[in-house]
Chain A
Amino acid sequence: MEATLIPNPRDTNATILLMGLRRSGKSSICKVVFHNMQPYDTLYLESTSKPTTEQFSSLIDLSVMELPGQLNYFEPNYDSERLFSSVGALVYVIDSQDEYLNAITNLSMIIDYAYKVNPNINIEVLIHKIDGLSEDYRIDAQRDIMQRTGDELLDLGVEGVELSFYLTSIFNHSIYEAFSRIVQKLIPELPSLENMLDNLVEHSSIDKVFLFDVNSKIYVATDSSPVDIQTYEVCAEFIDITIDLDDLYVENDKNKNESNGNNNSTNHKHVRNAPTELKSISHLSNGSVLYLKEMIRGLALVALIRSDERKGMNGVEEEAHGMVETIEEIDQDQESNQEKSLTIIDYNVSLFKESLMKIWKHSKLVQADQDVPHHQQDNPHSFHE
């Protein structure tokens, strides 16, 4: 029992603990995010009786451990101390449609305990199932839950704990957004990644760029411009479409490679027949371009390139031409400009990929040298100085 419950400290995985009262929606979250299950199908999930673990690798290896809600972790047969000391983040799920007073009491007791054992732990609270609440009520619920949790913690005498709250639902992309933020906190290389993406945006007339984990649609990093949820959705769906189409002609080609039936293990495919990385480009009728390129370790870079910015890049020259030339010629002009800027982006992206590989190697070296189980809680900056 213990062996399955406690993550092996030798394991370099950063662990995210998923906790909450029973029926708060923990298993549904796991199934939707990591197994691409349809939200409606999660209605038929059975109650979880054993802790279950989801593995996934982004730039670092992560595992999400889900704990059954009905158990009491303060019973002596659970080695709660080792459990809490070895995890990077604790995600507590509160059902916002249910009476949440019990959940808040439970949460503050867990925080009290976990924080004493491991003061580096990130504590995240998902105010879940908000799809059933009206727009105004969501804010009220959030304020109420934050207030009450604060009061409870004060009563317990816990101070200085930083809590993050997220409003989530599995019926829209808010759960992915929340998980993206949570995962990002565990990646020590995040600031340099963001810097690199910002650089990419600046030199390539890109509107928005995401670094996605292909399997779960969680984004590991993005540039510093604000995240527009619609752009995120389109980019996430673009990955699905690319992979689905690619799979149609890969999986059945049994002569060349044994299809393993696993659509999303793009890095597996790589090992088998190394040559090309998955890449897809789509021109939209408003002049924008969707751009996807496979990176390392199941990551993919997806960018939205807007047309108006490209005009700015070619600036005055184009406008002057436009006065004389016919419409068709302008069209052609724009097309060739698009080709050019895509070539530039291709080049920049491959540079980005190279540095990504460097970062990854570097972080692995550090792990081997220090052999610290929860390196991910270190100050992110310390790695790069």
Chain B
Amino acid sequence: MSSSTTSRKKLLLMGRSGSGKSSMRSIIFSNYSALDTRRLGATIDVELSHLRFLGNMTLNLWDCGGQTVFMDNYFTSQKDHIFKMVQVLIHVFDVESKSINKDIEIFIKSLTNLQQYSPGAKVFVLLHKMDLVQIDKRQELFQIMMEKLQKISNPYHFKLIGFPTSIWDESLYKAWSQIVCSLIPNINLFNNNLIKFNSILDAEEIILFEKTTFLVISSTASIKSQQKQIENGSENHMKEPESELEELDPKRFEKISNIIKTYKQSITKLRTNFKNLIIRGSDGTNFYIDIITDNMFIMIVLKDNKEGNRSIQQQHEELLILDNIKAARKWFEKIENNE
């Protein structure tokens, strides 16, 4: 039973040598800090890592060393081994690379092979080391590169999804969060339950995180914007909360991932982990971060506009929310276990 519910996903991480593939992997999945990645050496051949994600999903991450010797091997002798049964190809481009033509040549080669062996795969392109580009030029560069790459990949019928990334800010979390989310099968169930939970709590917003990586799985804001896209503005009742949320920082999810991961790392100095975090903000916003299932954390943001005796009210509210989270646990656990 358990083996049939366990789904294995094969992710290829490719790109020229020195483009930062192993650094990404170490930060997202092995709790490295951006500084620690200096110590990483060159990857020899393919480095396999099996990561359990959300309990019953296993990510097989193939970190393919990018030196020409290995690359040539992938496209000739090993090509059926490497490119078979691929769910996701993540191709990393170094924005500072001197030989873009060579980079693109390899990208084309891997697309050719991918089309042959696993045509259903999703292709993600990461323009990495964006921190080395001047801030005002980043957007422009990204657009030019993406247009060019999309044009190149058109003959292979792949729709590219691109991200500008850097290990020094939260953009890396954004990219990986979307990559991993595209692999979760029962994401709609999560979304529905999250909306229900939100209607009970009347929260400003609720976000679900994966426990070990703290990648964002789902959030009320993103669900609402999805719904809005579907409805295409025909119904107006969604509009009000939407306009409220639009004022918030669009990068907040990645920032939260980043902050909480820093916190987790800092806590390891006390040789422990954290169970929950409750913040009473300076202007009446309250935050609750708590475990919701074995593999997920939930973050609830509440706006408190009530007047009167705050401290007593807050204490009651706090207990109420924590109890609500406890009650919600079993529902989310059910979804996670695919029951």
Contacts and interface: CB of A to CB of B under 8 A. Distances in A.
Interface stretch (B5-13, B14-22, B171-179, B263-271): B263-271
A284 B272 contact: yes
Interface in B269-294: 269-285, 287
A276 B262 contact: no
Contacts, number: 118
Contacts of A240: 262
A230 B270 contact: yes
Interface in A252-311: 252-257, 266, 269-270, 273, 275-286, 288, 294, 304
A276 B280 contact: yes
A113 interface: no
Nearest to A282: B277
Contact of B275 (A231, A238, A283): A283
A329 interface: no
B68 to A, nearest CB: 31
A241 interface: yes
B256 interface: yes
A246 B270 contact: no
A329 to B, nearest CB: 15
Given A249-B301, A288-B270, A280 B282 contact: no
Interface stretch (B113-121, B151-159, B247-255): B247-255
A385 B204 CA distance: 52
Interface in B138-167: none
Interface residues of A, number: 44
Contact of B281 (A278, A283, A284): A278
Interface in A168-223: none
A54 interface: no
Contacts of B262: 237, 240-241
Contact of A244 (B204, B255, B267, B273): B255
Contacts of A349: none
A294 B279 CA distance: 11
B283 A257 contact: yes
A339 B285 CA distance: 21
Interface string B94-129: 000000000000000000000000000000000000
A233 B267 CA distance: 9
Contact of A233 (B266, B283, B285, B301): B266
Given A244-B259, A245-B256, A279 B280 contact: yes
B255 A275 contact: no
Contacts of B278: 280-282
Interface in B33-73: 35
Interface string A5-40: 000000000000000000000000000000000001
Contacts of A278: 279-282
Interface in A331-355: 339, 343
Contacts of A254: 247
A237 B273 CA distance: 15
Nearest to B311: A346
Most buried by B among A251, A266, A284: A284
A285 B275 CA distance: 5
B239 interface: no
Contacts of B247: 252-255
A257 B282 CA distance: 12
Interface string B297-339: 0000100000000100001000100000000000000000000
Contacts of A249: 204, 248, 252, 281, 285, 287, 301
A242 interface: yes
A270 B282 CA distance: 8
B275 A279 contact: no
Given A253-B283, A279-B279, A245 B259 contact: yes
Given A234-B270, A254-B247, A284-B270, A276 B281 contact: yes
A37 to B, nearest CB: 14
A45 interface: no
B282 A250 contact: yes
A249 B287 CA distance: 10
A294 B248 contact: no
15 contacts: A231-B270, A234-B270, A242-B279, A245-B256, A246-B287, A253-B247, A253-B283, A278-B281, A281-B278, A282-B276, A284-B272, A284-B275, A285-B273, A285-B275, A294-B282
Query: What 3 A-B pairs are tightest by C-beta distance, nearest first?
Result: A280-B279, A286-B272, A237-B266
Given A40-B35, A240-B262, A286-B271, 10 more contacts: A230-B270, A231-B270, A245-B256, A246-B279, A250-B283, A257-B283, A276-B280, A278-B281, A285-B274, A286-B270
